Chain A
């Protein structure tokens, strides 16, 4: 190589080395190698200085040796980085030039007379070869860079998606927690409401029991009076009988009569005693929390008992009140499966309402008005029908439509809970699989009809 070439080739070589370092990102990929590469300018500088001072073929040879070493280092680096395609291609591109240079360097001392033309031609080819491979390497690198960029973008997107899904998951968790908290609150509220409803039902029962107390007292006192009276009179009869037996001439007809009376009295005592304990039993059943247990129930007895209780209950409060009771109970009615306490409560409620309605109409001062409350029972097909009727004030259509709603009442506040008919409806429909309907004409009267399955 000529001396002039030295000034060109040296900086070119250093430039290429620096370019290569950057292109292949050697400082991060091969930091060990990089340390050597960054110091490469030092021997180069020495060679250039020697060339300037001494010149001559030896220096040129040294220069070529240095170039060969640099190229070999390039190939080695390419091989080392072969996983990175552009580096491999670059190394392959460098191979022929390097081989040529190495050959030249080795042969130069022995043959001075190498055909410069041939060498120049081969050098041209080698440069083309290297150029082609460098181009390939470059485009590969570019593609790879684009790939990396795309991958980075995809990764970023992925990360963004992950972040978003995490955010979503967090929100879902938050929302779920809030919902379950709300559910718990609602459940607690529901339990509270159910407890309140039970209390209301119980207080409604107690309220109607309160209304009944006077009626019950009257109803129990009446049979008790008979029991006492018949017992007293029986003592008198026994005394008379003893007196008769002590006579010298006994009147057998009178004795037989006295004995028959005694027997009759004892039967009356038993009957009225039974009547009183029946009322007490009914009262206890009424106030007891319903067990909901069905048993054979005599609807006629129940209707008659509660009609009287309701009547006397109201009369105890309003002494001037009088009404005609019209029980029309079908004889020989079969007993039905029912909860007597519950059914009794329904009847009591209907009767109480009926008496209330006739009382109100009576208080309006209508002349010739005869308050009448009736109860009718009958067997219709496979249904047992109980009709409670009154000739009271009656109800307009809008009131009729709402009377079975809880807390609806037409009575002044404090007089009704508004639960009576609502509970009655529940007891008949849900408790007994029957129906409770109302028919009413304003100013004429009201009729409640209970239909119960009769089997």
Chain B
């Protein structure tokens, strides 16, 4: 299952790679990383129909995670439409409601509980 992680913090990549080292080694998950909303959109266009899940931060310079979410849900991207999970340090109800209204499939607050995240990822039926 291909997962695209979008966050402006470069160390997020290291963290995910180590946290999911067993899953990556076993080939269960494959991670790609983008450091901004724009970069994520470019990646989605260049790798059509690959990404199953997008894990995106909300607060990023330039295009925010919510804008990215809107693009993913509204732009004519090649099917199937990827699932989107929002990750944010500002877990207020306003942002949550906005994300849900834009069609987010899940909403997680930072610091990320990796055990919970793992469970959620395993629950997604692999295509």
Interface residues of A (CB under 8 A from B): 218, 221-222, 224-226, 228-230, 232-233, 236-237, 261, 264-265, 268, 272, 311-312, 315-316, 319, 322-325, 370
B residues 14-58 touching A (CB-CB < 8 Å): 14-15, 18-19
CB pairs A–B below 8 angstroms (21 shown): A218-B89, A218-B90, A221-B89, A226-B15, A229-B111, A229-B112, A230-B14, A230-B15, A233-B15, A233-B19, A237-B18, A264-B14, A268-B14, A272-B11, A312-B59, A315-B90, A316-B90, A319-B92, A322-B61, A322-B67, A370-B62
B residues 107-127 touching A (CB-CB < 8 Å): 110-112, 114
Query: When the two chains form the complex, which single residue of B9, B15, B61, B94 contacts A319, counting CB atoms closer than 8 Å?
Result: B94
The answer to whether A315 and B111 touch across the interface, beta carbons within 8 angstroms, is: no
Complex Cα gap A323–B15 (Å): 26
Query: When the two chains form the complex, which single residue of B18, B61, B67, B92 contacts A323, counting CB atoms closer than 8 Å?
Result: B61
Given contacts A218-B90, A315-B59, A322-B63, 7 further A-B contacts (CB under 8 A): A229-B114, A236-B19, A319-B94, A322-B64, A323-B61, A324-B62, A370-B62
Within 8 Å CB of A323, what residues of B? Answer: 61
B95 at the interface (CB under 8 A from A): yes
The answer to whether B11 and A322 touch across the interface, beta carbons within 8 angstroms, is: no
Tell me what chain A mostly uses at the interface: helix, strand, loop, or mixed: helix
Name which of A229, A264, A265, A272 has the most chain B CB atoms within 10 A of its CB: A229
Question: Chain A's nearest CB lies how many Å from the CB of B20?
Answer: 10
B residues 66-101 touching A (CB-CB < 8 Å): 67, 89-90, 92, 94-95
The answer to whether A325 and B61 touch across the interface, beta carbons within 8 angstroms, is: yes
The tally of CB-CB contacts under 8 A between chains A and B is 57
Within 8 Å CB of B19, what residues of A? Answer: 229, 233, 236
Question: Chain B's nearest CB lies how many Å from the CB of A264?
Answer: 7
Query: When the two chains form the complex, which single residue of A229, A237, A319 contacts B95, counting CB atoms closer than 8 Å?
Result: A319
Complex Cα gap A268–B18 (Å): 13
Within 8 Å CB of B9, what residues of A? Answer: 222, 226
Question: Could you tell me how many residues of chain B have their Cβ less than 8 Å away from some Cβ of chain A?
Answer: 22
Within 8 Å CB of B110, what residues of A? Answer: 221, 225
Question: Chain A's nearest CB lies how many Å from the CB of B22?
Answer: 8
Q: Which residue of B lies closest to A324 (CB)?
A: B62
Question: Chain B's nearest CB lies how many Å from the CB of A263?
Answer: 12
Complex Cα gap A311–B59 (Å): 11
Complex Cα gap A319–B92 (Å): 9
The 5 closest A-B pairs by CB, nearest first: A225-B111, A233-B18, A322-B64, A324-B62, A325-B61
The answer to whether B111 and A228 touch across the interface, beta carbons within 8 angstroms, is: yes
Query: When the two chains form the complex, which single residue of B15, B60, B67, B89 contacts A229, counting CB atoms closer than 8 Å?
Result: B15
Q: Which residue of A lies closest to B20 (CB)?
A: A233
Name which of B15, B95, B110 has the most chain A CB atoms within 10 A of its CB: B15
Question: Chain A's nearest CB lies how many Å from the CB of B31?
Answer: 14
Q: Which residue of A lies closest to B115 (CB)?
A: A232
Question: Chain A's nearest CB lies how many Å from the CB of B120?
Answer: 17
Q: Which residue of A lies closest to B62 (CB)?
A: A324
The answer to whether A322 and B89 touch across the interface, beta carbons within 8 angstroms, is: no
Question: Chain B's nearest CB lies how many Å from the CB of A256?
Answer: 14
Question: Chain A's nearest CB lies how many Å from the CB of B91?
Answer: 11
Q: Which residue of A lies closest to B65 (CB)?
A: A322
Complex Cα gap A224–B89 (Å): 12
Within 8 Å CB of B61, what residues of A? Answer: 311, 322-325
Within 8 Å CB of B95, what residues of A? Answer: 319
Complex Cα gap A236–B21 (Å): 10
Complex Cα gap A230–B16 (Å): 10
Question: Chain A's nearest CB lies how many Å from the CB of B63?
Answer: 8
Question: Chain A's nearest CB lies how many Å from the CB of B85?
Answer: 17
Question: Chain A's nearest CB lies how many Å from the CB of B92?
Answer: 7
Question: Chain A's nearest CB lies how many Å from the CB of B98?
Answer: 8
Question: Chain B's nearest CB lies how many Å from the CB of A8?
Answer: 142
Within 8 Å CB of A228, what residues of B? Answer: 111
Question: Chain B's nearest CB lies how many Å from the CB of A335?
Answer: 26
Complex Cα gap A224–B19 (Å): 17
Question: Chain A's nearest CB lies how many Å from the CB of B127?
Answer: 28
Within 8 Å CB of A268, what residues of B? Answer: 11, 14
Question: Chain A's nearest CB lies how many Å from the CB of B116?
Answer: 13
Name which of B18, B62, B67, B111 has the most chain A CB atoms within 10 A of its CB: B18
Complex Cα gap A30–B114 (Å): 134
Within 8 Å CB of A229, what residues of B? Answer: 15, 19, 111-112, 114
